[in-house]
Structure 1
Amino acid sequence: MKDRIYKSVVLVSFLILLLVQLRLTYNSYVLRDRDYSLKEKTLINDEYGRSISEDKVYRGGGKIIDSILSSNMPALKQAYLSNRKEFVKLSERVSNTLLKDLQKESTMDSVFRSIVKRNGLDSNLQYLLTFQQIEINFDTKIGNITIFDNHSYTGFKANQITPYGVIIDGTLADPSLQNRVTNLSVSGKLVYDYRITFNLFVDPPGRTMKVAYQMLPTFSLVALCIIIIVGINYYTYISWMRQKKETDVKSDFLNSIKHEFNTPITTILVASKSLHEEEVLNDRMRVNALINIVERQARRLHSHINQMLEISEINNNINLEETDLNYAVLTLVNDYKIKVQAPDSLTFDPHGSEILIMMDPFVFTTMLQNILDNSFKHNHSDVKMTVLFITAHNGGYILHIKDNGKGIEETVKEKIFDKFFRAGKDNTVSGLGLGLYYVKQCLDIHGWDISIRTEPEKGTEFLVHIPAGQTIDITNH
């Protein structure tokens, strides 16, 4: 439960930190993009104003606007005063006609290129000219009346409309306040007054990439920061898990030591105390019985101590010898059968041919004995059966140790070879959790491997894999 809470807290903290970092980076990019401006903006604005000083929008634009509006002003006034719906329809027709004529007759391209050439500007600069608003005024009491703005229906395609009005001319794809050079509202006087508003945008191509490139050091630092944070969190989590595991292992080991050592020590103390009693000393049979108890418990303590010493000394004094695998297993099985009481059984089916391998006989025997101890000690069947046999596999061999016990749960199968690990907390089964750890250590120093086939309540099968490179060819021997 604590592990899950820890993971959740770490994950949520990391996600919050990541979102904050990304948000700050995005805000920095927005600010940099907003502050990015064309150095020549003022120059272009002044040059554009001078180029159309006696005109509107572009050279010849004023004539188009005057001709269309002057012919429609009386009708617009009449419709506005008498029929507002008709006024709206007439405004749309007049606006569409005006905008289409401005697009068709545009000379803005030549105006802009002459500005660029005359002032030695970057020839890659792009522009966009948009028409934003038309207002008319035929009565000072009524005031200005808008017949076209950004919200008016025009019938133009979506790619011809921007938030700053309808496109008249130009190829700049992304008009914005950052690249707007001019926002002009100019007035004219015909039969009645009118006022038009238009915009000029100028920018070099790829401005977004240029801003991103300027932000590259910031992006790199943010990425590095995130990587470091991930690394620190991962390292902290791994260290915490390792410490937690070590703490659990130590706790389990101390509990096992307490149980496994306390019982024989207590028994020895009680037996020793009894030997001081005159009544016991005068009864030789009782003395012999107490001495046997002390001896058995002392052997038990000696066995536990030796097991721990074997773990610490396993990598020292390894003596590999050429040994027949069949003989080594058969010898141990015959010796071990003495401890197996009927109706329990231990059987070995030798391989059909001699198998010569390099092994340390003592280490191998102790390793196999630990597996057998495990197969009988944790087997609660009415009739305990363990079978050993050898099969050939990919030029090597596999030693099978199969029992009919309770099996091993999948959740603990990968942990049973850990030091001091005990799958169950049943104190009626003696042990320090070192047996299978010792088995794994023995296999590692031989260069062998082990796998497990198990099914709850149906038994467990240990498979000791001896690779082909460690067998000795008998024909050339």
Structure 2
Amino acid sequence: MPIASYLAVINLGMKLSITAYKVISIVSFLILSTLQFVLVYNTYKLTDERYFFNERKTMDTAYGKTIINDILFPGGGKVMDKYIYPNMHTLEVLHDQDTAAFNQYKALLVDSIFTMLRANSNMDSVMHMIIQKNGLSEKLEYALHFDLVDISFKKNQYVNIFNYNSPQKSRLSLISGTLQTPSNKNKISTVTVTSPADYTTRVSFSLYADISNRSMVILQRMLPTLVISLFSLFCVVLLFFITFRNWVKQKQLSEMKSDFINSMSHELNTPLAAIIVANKGLQNEQILENKAQVRSLTDVINRQSERLKKLIGQVLDITRSNQVVLQKEPLILQNALQEIISDYRYKITDPSIQMTGVLAEGEDTIEADRFWLTTILVNLIENAIKYNDQPNKVVNILLRRGKKHLYIEVADNGIGIPSNIQSHIFDKFYRAQTNLKTNNGLGLDLGLGLFNVQQAVLAHGWSISVTSKPGQGSTFIVRIPNK
């Protein structure tokens, strides 16, 4: 398998492993959170059911004592008897002869009974006495509701005149109290009063009591449970984050080791290729007869050998510490650039590559490290060729003067750089995804070339920028202060 394909497979595997790790972690966290929620919710329900349990028993007993010989409240039975028994025979006749009239009459009767019961209710004082006597909360609210009113014309044969089993949905059956949310959770008692005789009644009613902020009180009681639950989830998330971060760091270190080995091959390939080409030229008898050409080729070998020597140490330094150590010397920029361009031309064997150099006339002297100046220009040239899918690949190198700066521009007609990744191209090990199937034989894209360029530029106190449009090529501009 080719190295590029091998690295692509490894990269894809790493991406898949990270994605799988994230998915498994998220699913596990959701399962854990769901279990925690179920446990906390069940605890809340249990606490809600047990809340006010002893107080309810106390109120049930106390309320039962106050109505031993009565209905609803002390005196309530007399109000009921006053309306029902005088109308018993009328109800019987209407029930047997006219159902519509019976329904209308019983509705009026029930309404009159409820109205009178509300007017004569002394439940406020009864509840206040129960609360005071038993030391219950003053914040208690209550509601007394009718559930059922039946009448019997014959023994144990009841006829319903009122039936409402959902008092929380209506205020119709409310006799006394201000509690807005009666339910089975806050029901104190349900009392049914009946008598197995002719012309009698069967009455069922319920008493509810609760505090208005029941849910908040329950949550306060559950606060330790909630805090422990949330803290445990936080610890799990924190441990996951620390583990994931350390795993990513270890993975990055492993990738950096692999990339470093490959980057060494990539960086060493440039001067080595120039040396090989120059050496082959020296083996040509026609060239050997031309002393000027021999001298030119030996100069190339000498420069690239020195570069190869420095490269071994410099690549190690920049990979370890991300710092560039400069050995500055006065350089005539035009001459230095011309040497770099000439040396690189020996490496180009593809006839579709056209490289031109247009350098400002004159001599501009700068303080620079020759090795790193070469690294800057060579990497920019290689990127211009590497990311180019045109049948005729054009690379233009321009040196121009400004009022305060000298500008080295490397322009190409390649694939260009999308605006959303232009801010990342100088990041270490950043490798943009492209549709190019080959790298033109110029080595693998390891994400170190432009990083090295930026490090060298910044170390000199220069600056670099890029202008690019996808499909139209890119132009890298190095700004050098003109002193």
What's the TM-score, normalizing by structure 2? 0.71
Determine the C-alpha separation between the residues in 2 that align with 1:383 and 1:109. 97
The answer as to 2:168 corresponding to 1:160 is no
Unaligned runs of 5+ in 1: 273-282
The equivalent of 1:115 in structure 2 is 130
Helix, strand or coil for the counterpart of 1:406? coil
Moved more, 337-346 or 70-79: 337-346
Q: Which moved more, 1:454-463 or 1:106-115?
A: 454-463
SS in 2 for 1:40: helix
Report deviation, 1:57: 0.7
Instruction: Report the counterpart of residue 73 of structure 2 in structure 1.
Output: 58
Q: Distance in 2 between matches of 1:307 and 1:60?
A: 107
Partner of 2:385: 377
> Separation in 2 of the partners of 1:398 and 1:66?
109
The equivalent position to 1:334 in structure 2, one of 338, 351, 354, is: 338
Among 339, 356, 360, the residue aligned to 1:345: 356
- Provide the rounded CA distance (Å) in 1 between the counterparts of 2:308 and 2:24: 42
Report the Cα distance in structure 1 between the residues aligned to 2:442 and 2:215, rounded to whole angstroms.
72
Is 1:426 aligned with 2:433? Answer: no
**Quick check: 1:138 aligned with 2:150?**
no
1:361 and 2:375 correspond: no
Distance across 2 between alignment mates of 1:136 and 1:398: 107
Q: 1:333, 1:429 → 2: CA distance?
A: 24
Give the drift of 1:67.
1.8
Tell me if 1:456 matches 2:467: no
* Paired residues of 1:265 and 1:297 also in contact (CA < 8 A): no
**Native 8 Å contact 1:340 1:346 kept in 2:** no
Q: 1:371 to 1:221 in 2, by over 3 A?
A: same
**1:14 and 2:29 aligned:** yes
Work out whether residues 385 and 395 of structure 2, in 8 Å CA contact, stay in contact via their aligned partners in 1. Answer: no
Amino acid at match of 2:40: T
Match among 110, 119, 141 for residue 104 of structure 1: 119
How many Å apart are 1:108 and its aligned residue?
0.9
1:312 matched to 2:316? The reply is yes
Could you tell me which runs of 5 or more consecutive residues in structure 2 were left unpaired when the two chains were aligned. Answer: 1-14, 346-352
Residue 212 (structure 1) aligns with:
219
SS in 1 for 2:62: helix
Distance 1:295 1:263 in 2: 16
Query: Conserved in 2, the CA contact under 8 Å of 1:249 and 1:421?
Result: no
Matched residue type, 1:374: E
Contact 1:453 1:461 in 2 (8 A): yes
Q: Write out per-residue CA displacement over residues 189-216 of structure 1, whole angstroms, 9 at most, x where no aligned residue.
A: 8961212122222234422211101111
Query: Residues of 1 paired with 2:66 and 2:253: CA distance?
Result: 83
Q: Secondary structure at the match of 1:436?
A: helix
Which residue is 1:182 aligned to?
189
Residue in 2 aligned with 1:280?
Answer: none
Structure 1 residue corresponding to 2:413, chosen from 398, 404, 407: 404
Whole-angstrom distance in 2 between the partners of 1:377 and 1:115: 94
Q: Is the 8 A contact 2:272 2:308 kept in 1?
A: no
Q: How much has 1:240 moved relative to structure 2?
A: 5.2
- Equivalent pair of 2:80/2:113 in contact (CA under 8 Å): yes
| Alpha-carbon distance in 1 for matches of 2:202, 2:324 | 103
How many corresponding residue pairs? 439
CA distance, structure 2, for counterparts of residue 313 and residue 172 of structure 1:
79
Match of 1:279 in 2: none
Retained in 2: the 8 A contact 1:132–1:197? Answer: yes
1:219-268: CA deviations, max 9, x gaps? 122222332333344445555555566666666666777799899999x9
Match of 1:436 among 432, 450, 467: 450
* C-alpha displacement of 1:36: 1.0
Change (3 A) 1:130 1:329: farther
- Greater RCO structure (CA 8 Å; 6+ sep): 1
Which residue of structure 2 aligns with residue 193 of structure 1? 200
C-alpha deviation, 1:447, in angstroms? 7.1
1:77 corresponds to which of 88, 92, 95: 92
Paired-residue identity, %: 27
Q: Secondary structure at the match of 1:344?
A: strand
Closer/same/farther in 2, CA of residues 47 and 317 from structure 1, 3 Å limit? closer
Tell whether the 8 Å contact from 1:391 to 1:399 is kept in structure 2 after alignment. no
CA RMSD of aligned residues (A): 5.0
Supply the distance in 2 between the matched residues of 1:447 and 1:58 (Cα, whole angstroms): 95
CA contact (8 A) 1:259 1:427 kept: no
Q: SS at 1:138's partner residue? A: strand
In structure 2, the residue matched to 1:277 is none
Structure 1 residue 111: Cα displacement: 1.6
Describe the SS at the equivalent of 1:311. Answer: helix
Shift of 1:69: 1.8
